[in-house]
């Protein structure tokens, strides 16, 4: 294990140090919040369903705190992923960023926010986007035809999922493949892995 300082200007062509690889990972996640075309804008979230099977879906990255490695995702509160995360708050997020040949895997504990913070975020959701929070019947329900549902957006159906990252795995497919793991419990000190 090596403790290296993260630089502000990550090398994207071929990061060769742990700090460069972690900084590149951080920069690509930050881009996902502000750039709708960035690969990290749409991470895949994996949970476990009630039968114990993996359940993966794509969401939109809404917030990323690079100091504390916390991400926010939004969901319809009645979606299966919210119930799955209530039963077991462990999840994995995955991003493949072809622009820089970087795979990011984030292990996280997920909590659902409540109260005033969620209300303030709901107020910022554009009217055109609110349709995603309140399908009737709820998401995943069997219906007789593709359009046999309606939208009924309301704040009670708006869920903010806060993902507190506990492990980062980054795989860069550069001139020489490099893979590393960073753990919260060690202060994000990294260690190299075989790619």
Instruction: Supply the DSSP string of 113-160, one letter for each residue.
Output: --THHHHHHHHHS-GGGGGGS-EESPTT---SSTT--EE---GGGEEE
Average pLDDT over residues 69-97: 97
Average pLDDT of the segment spanning 157-164:
98
Instruction: Give the H/E segment covering residue 92.
Output: strand 90-97
pTM: 0.91
Q: How confident is the model at residue 9 (pLDDT cuts 50, 70, 90)?
A: low
pLDDT of 117 > 80? The answer is: yes
- The helix (H) or strand (E) run that includes residue 70 is strand 70-76
Q: Calculate what percentage of the chain has a pLDDT beyond 70.
A: 94
Cα angle: 157, vertex 148, 152; to 5 degrees: 25
112: closest CA among 131, 88, 139, 135? 88
Question: In this model, does residue 163 exceed pLDDT 70?
Answer: yes
């Amino acid at each position: 294990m090596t403790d290296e300082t993260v630089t502000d200007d990550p090398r994207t062509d071929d990061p060769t140090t742990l700090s460069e690889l972690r900084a590149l990972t951080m920069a690509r996640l930050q881009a996902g919040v502000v750039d709708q075309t960035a690969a990290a804008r749409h991470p895949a979230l994996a949970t476990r369903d009630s039968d114990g099977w993996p359940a993966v879906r794509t969401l939109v990255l809404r917030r990323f705190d690079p100091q504390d490695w916390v991400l926010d995702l939004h969901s319809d509160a009645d979606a299966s992923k919210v119930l799955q995360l209530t039963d077991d708050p462990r999840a994995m997020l995955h991003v493949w960023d072809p622009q820089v040949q970087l795979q990011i895997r984030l292990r996280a504990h997920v909590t659902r926010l409540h109260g005033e913070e969620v209300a303030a975020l709901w107020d910022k959701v554009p009217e055109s986007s609110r349709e995603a929070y309140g399908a009737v019947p709820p998401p995943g329900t069997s219906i007789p035809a593709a359009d046999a549902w309606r939208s009924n957006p309301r704040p009670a159906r708006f869920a903010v999922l806060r993902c507190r990252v506990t492990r980062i795995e980054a795989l860069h497919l550069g001139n020489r493949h490099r893979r590393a793991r960073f753990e919260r419990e060690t202060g994000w000190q990294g260690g190299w892995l075989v790619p």
